[in-house]
């Protein structure tokens, strides 16, 4: 085991771009159990390793030979932005808050928000979806059959994010809106990955799918945000 770990260090990094320069996966997809209405395939999610897999990703059906090209843009802030207080910033750094036992990331904040909503409405969380630890490192109650039925009953509420909390008076609020309000500012520093799937032909086996995952270009664009002063700020 030691020799193998020495010969194949982790993480692996691509030294080039284009087809055959990244990773190739051959996946054998098992049969769907009776009574389960689902399509055979896999969901491919490419994101920051610290992010909880919040997005649904790309669904890839069986009997597929696919080419997945990846590119991404990085966003960072200037030193002047990091010196601002949280009340003057519209974003958060990783050290500002802790979500899901790690530094702040917007997607993890959303997952934490859903977790709190599930605890409020159903008194439990699905153990196979979330980190079932609270801020005191105690295990949160996992849903039993009754709890799972409660989650299914309120799934429209849990799956709908309302853009921002209304500022109208209580008498003016729309009570027909169903969804969760989450206070999750943007990340001050982030790496955004964009993936594109091209299906070239069928795989060799009808129960398999083969994926060639690689970078599309040898570079990415780095954006930097900074403080902008207007004319009124100089008065």
Do 21 and 79 lie in one domain? The reply is yes
- Judge if 111 and 182 occupy the same domain: yes
In a domain, 215, yes or no: yes
3-state secondary structure of 189: coil
Residue 61 in contact with residue 40, Cβ under 8 Å? yes
pLDDT at res. 169: 40
Number of domains in the chain: 2
The whole-angstrom separation of Cα 118 and Cα 126 is 9
User: Are 95 and 151 within one domain?
Assistant: yes
pLDDT at residue 231 in the model: 65
Q: How confident is the model at residue 203 (pLDDT cuts 50, 70, 90)?
A: low
How many degrees, rounded to 5, is the angle at CA 105 between CA 99 and CA 106?
A: 105
Q: Give the CA distances from residue 202 to residues 32, 43, 128, 207, in Å, rounded to whole numbers and listed in that order.
A: 20, 18, 32, 11
Q: What is the pLDDT of residues 113-131, one digit of tens each?
A: 888 888 888 988 887 665 5
The residues with which 125 forms a beta bridge, in sequence order, are 142
Query: Could you tell me the residue range of the domain that residue 215 belongs to?
Result: 17-29+39-86+189-226
What the block records as the tokens of 203 is: 């795989």
Residue 170, in any domain of the structure: no
**How distant is the alpha carbon of residue 105 from its chain centre?**
9
Q: What is the CATH number of the domain that holds 65?
A: 2.60.470.10
Q: Which tops the pLDDT comparison, 172 or 95? A: 95
Residue 98 has pLDDT above 70, yes or no: yes
The answer on 112 and 180 residing in a single domain is yes
Query: 18 versus 147: which is more confidently predicted?
Result: 147
Are residues 82 and 124 located together in one domain of the fold? no
pTM: 0.71
Looking at the fold, whether 98 and 78 belong to one and the same domain comes out as no
193 and 131 inside one domain: no
Question: Is the pLDDT higher at 20 or at 163?
Answer: 20
Mean pLDDT of the chain: 77
The DSSP 8-state label assigned to residue 133 in this structure reads B
Do residue 181 and residue 112 come from a single domain? yes
Residue 102 has which token pair? 């790690």
Name the H helices within the chain. 2-7, 79-82, 106-122, 145-153, 155-158
Tell me, yes or no, whether 94 and 183 share the same domain: yes
């Amino acid at each position: 085991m030691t020799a193998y770990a020495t010969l194949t260090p982790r993480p692996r990094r691509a030294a080039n771009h284009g087809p055959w320069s990244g990773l190739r996966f051959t996946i054998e997809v098992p049969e769907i159990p009776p009574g389960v209405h689902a399509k055979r395939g896999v969901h491919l999610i490419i994101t920051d390793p610290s992010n909880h897999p919040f997005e649904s990703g790309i669904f890839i059906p069986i009997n597929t030979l696919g080419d997945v090209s990846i590119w991404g843009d990085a966003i960072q802030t200037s030193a002047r932005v990091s010196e601002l207080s949280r009340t003057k910033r519209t974003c958060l750094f990783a050290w500002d808050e802790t979500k899901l036992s790690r530094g702040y990331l917007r997607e993890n904040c959303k997952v934490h928000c859903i977790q709190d909503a599930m605890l409020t409405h159903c008194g439990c969380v699905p153990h196979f979806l979330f980190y079932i630890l609270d801020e005191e490192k105690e295990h949160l109650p996992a849903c039993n059959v009754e709890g799972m039925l409660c989650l299914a009953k309120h799934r429209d509420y849990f799956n709908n994010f309302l853009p921002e909390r209304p500022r109208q008076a209580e008498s003016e609020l729309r009570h027909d809106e169903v969804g969760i309000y989450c206070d999750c500012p943007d990340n001050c520093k982030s790496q955004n990955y964009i993936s594109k799937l091209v299906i070239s032909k069928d795989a060799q086996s009808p129960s398999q799918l083969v994926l060639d995952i690689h970078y599309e270009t040898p570079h990415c664009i780095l954006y930097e945000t900074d403080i902008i002063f207007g004319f009124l700020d100089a008065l």
